[in-house]
């Protein structure tokens, strides 16, 4: 099980990773753009990474490179 703490860390078994959370934290999702990361159980289907920050690690999960200026947005009209 993967657990995301309010402190901004993702924990899996004995591993701990820094992660970004919405300004309002992890809660029940009401609508897009509410600054909340949804609470629930989710399957990881793809990993997005920046090659200038993280090397291309081997993983069975699909990977997608993103550019330096590409990022997450809470704008409901943004199609990322």
**Rounded distance, CA 59 to CA 66, Å?**
17
- Stretch 8-34: mean pLDDT: 80
Indicate whether 70 pLDDT > 70. no
State the DSSP H helix or E strand holding residue 12, giving kind and residue range, or none if neither.
strand 9-12
Give the pTM.
Answer: 0.46
Indicate whether 4 pLDDT > 70. no
**Cβ neighbours of 46 (radius 10 Å):** 8
Four-CA torsion 37, 7, 52, 38, nearest 10 degrees: -10
């Amino acid at each position: 099980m993967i657990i995301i703490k309010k402190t901004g860390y993702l924990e899996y078994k004995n591993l701990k990773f820094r992660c970004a959370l919405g300004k309002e934290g992890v809660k029940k999702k009401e609508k897009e753009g509410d600054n909340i990361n949804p609470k629930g159980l989710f399957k990881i289907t793809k990993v997005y990474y920046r090659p200038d920050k993280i090397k291309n690690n081997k993983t069975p999960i699909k990977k997608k490179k993103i550019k330096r200026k590409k990022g997450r947005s809470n704008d409901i009209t943004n199609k990322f």
